[in-house]
Amino acid sequence: MSFELQVQLHLNGKRGVDILHDPILNKGTAFTESERDALGLRGLLPARVGTQERQVMRVMENLHRKATDIEKYIFLVALQDRQENLFYRVVMDHLDEMMPIIYTPTVGQGCIEFGHIFRRPRGLYISFKDRGRVREILKNWPYHDVRIVVVTDGERILGLGDLGANGMGIPVGKLSLYTACAGIHPAQCLPVTLDCGTNNEALLSDPLYIGIPEKRLRGEAYDDLVEEFVTGVQEVFPRACIQLEDFGNANAFRLLHKYRNRSCTFDDDIQGTAGVTLAGLYSALAITGNRLSDHRFLFLGAGEAGIGIGDLIVTGLMAEGVKEADARRKCWFVDSKGLVVKSRTDLVHHKLPYAHDHAFIGDFLQAVETVKPTALIGVSGMPRTFTKPVVEAMARMNQRPVIFSLSNPTSKSECTAEEAYAWTDGRAIFASGSPFPPVAYKGKTFVPGQGNNAYIFPGVGLGVIASEATRVTDEMFFVAAKTLARMVTAEDYAKGRIYPGLDRIREVSSAIAIAVAEVAFQGGLTAMKRPDDLPAYIKSQMYDPTHVKYVPGP
C-alpha cells in the first residue's frame, strides 16, 4: 500500500482543526492553498504558505536556543506530538546531531525524569490490573496496520535499572529510529509499556511517577499478562513483529526462548546488540588482518547483551569451520562475582555454556592477564571498569587491542574513547555504545565507532516487515552483521571508525533489509512470493517524510 493511500485512509473525512490536531496529518503552514480550501483549513493557519525546508529552519533555530540536551529532548518530543512528518525530516537531515538527543544518551535522562516532563501520552500503557482486557486495550489503538511493536516492562532501562512505566521513553525512541533509519511508516509503529509495578523506591515515593506505585509483579501472574499481550497482538495486529526491549535478565532470556518460535519476536538487547558488535568485530578484522577464529574474547558482563554477543560470535566462528565447543572456549565472561567457570555453583542457566574448566579468578585485571584476550567487550553497566592497568595490559599483549565499551548511557561506559586511545598509544580499535567526540592524539584525529543498535534493528525490522516473515531468526542477525561490516569504507577505516557514518544509515538499513528478506524467502519463513526486483521493492516500502499532497475523499 502506498503511503499516499495510507494518508488518504487515515484522513477519512477529517477536516479543519481535527487535521491540525493529528500529528500524522498535520503539515502546519505547509498546507497548500488548494488543500486549505478542500480541507476546511482556510483561516486556521497564517496566510503565507510555507515549505517543509522553511519549517526545518525554524525548528533548528529554536532547538539551538535550548541550553541542555534534556530541554532539546522535550522540544523534539513535543514536535513529534504535533507534526510527525516535520519531526522525521529534522531527524533525518541532522541525524548525527539528533540521535544522541532522541535516543542514547539523552533518552536515559528522559526516562529518569519521565513523570516530571510528561506532556502527552504516546503508545499504549497496559498494566497488570488490565488482565483479561488486553485485547480490548490493543483495539483502542487508532492505527490498524501495525507492523512493529516495541514493548518493555521497564525493569532494566539501559544501564539505569528499574524505571517502571517511565521506561516508555525507550519504545518511543526505538520506534522513532525505525522510521528515521529504515523508513517504517509512523502509523505502523506501536510503543507499549507493560506496567508491572516497580521496585525502585524513589519512584514508589514520587507523587509524579506515572506508573502503578506497587512492587513488581512476579511469577505466574506476570507470565499470564505477557501471554495475554503476545496472543492479543497476534490477533489484533496479525502482521506485526514484536521487539522485546529492556526486560530484566531473567525474563528477557526466558521470554525470548518461549516466544521466538511461536510468534514473530526478537529481543534487541540480546540479538540486536550481538549483531552490531559482531559487525564491529568483522570490521576490526580488516585492520588486524586475521580471522575471527584467531581471536579470544573476554566480556565484562554476562547478562543479555554479553551472552547474546557471545552466541552470535560462536555462530561466526562456526561459519569459519570451528566446532561449537571450541568456539565457546574462545569466549570468556566475568560477571559481578568474577570469572565464569565450571566450579561455581551460583551460575544462572544462560551462563552455563560459557563456564569453562578453569580456576576461579575474582579480580578483573587478573582475569585479563590470565585469559590474554585479543578483544575486550564491556557490557556491564559499570562505569570506568576498563581501568588504565586493564587497558595497558591489553596494549601490552596485542599490537591492535580491540576495546569495546558498550554500556549505555555515556555515564555507564567502561572507559572513554580518549582513555582507550591514550592508554594504548593510539593503537586501540575502539567502539562504544553511546557517542564520544573525535579524539586528537599525537597529531592524529580518531573518530570513535559507535556500536549503536540503530545500525541493525531498523534494517532487520524492515526486512521482516517487507518480506512478511512469520519468524525472526538468529541467521537474520548474522547476515545483518556481515552486511553492516561490508558497508564500512576505506575512508571510515582511515579515521579509525569501524562503522559507517550515520549519514548513510538509510542505505545501511536498506542493504540489511534485503539480506534479511532473502533469509525469509530462502528459509520458507513467509508465504509471500519473492519480488523479482527485491532491492527496488524494499526501497518502495521506505517512508520518506517529504509531504504528500492530500486529496480529500468523497
Quick: pLDDT tens for 305-331: 999 999 999 999 999 999 999 999 999
| Range 101-118 average pLDDT | 96
What residues are labeled active site? 103, 174
Q: Residue 112: CB partners within 8 Å, gap ≥ 6?
A: 160, 163, 166
pLDDT tens track for 489-505: 999 998 889 999 999 99
Give the strands of the sheet with 265-267, arranged side by side: 124-127, 189-195, 148-152, 241-244, 265-267
Specify the pLDDT at position 106.
95
Specify the pLDDT at position 10.
60
Q: Which CATH class is domain 51-263?
A: alpha beta
Task: Kindly tell me if the per-residue pLDDT of 386 is higher than 90.
Answer: yes
Sorting pLDDT into bands at 50, 70 and 90, what band is 159?
confident
Task: Kindly tell me if the per-residue pLDDT of 4 is higher than 60.
Answer: no
Q: Which CATH class is domain 271-454?
A: alpha beta
Please check whether the two domains, 51-263 and 271-454, share a CATH topology: yes
Q: pTM of the entire structure?
A: 0.94
| Range 155-179 average pLDDT | 96
Domain limits of the chain?
Answer: 51-263, 271-454
Inter-residue contact 230 to 253 (CB < 8 Å) = no
Q: Residue 528: CB partners within 8 Å, gap ≥ 6?
A: 467, 468, 521
pLDDT tens track for 264-312: 999 999 999 999 999 999 999 999 999 999 999 999 999 999 999 999 9
The candidate with the shortest Cα–Cα distance to 209, out of 116, 330, 341, 302, is 116
Q: Residue 337: CB partners within 8 Å, gap ≥ 6?
A: 344, 346, 362
| Range 146-164 average pLDDT | 96
| Range 517-530 average pLDDT | 98
Q: Could you give the CA distance from residue 313 to residue 303 in angstroms, rounded to a whole number?
A: 15
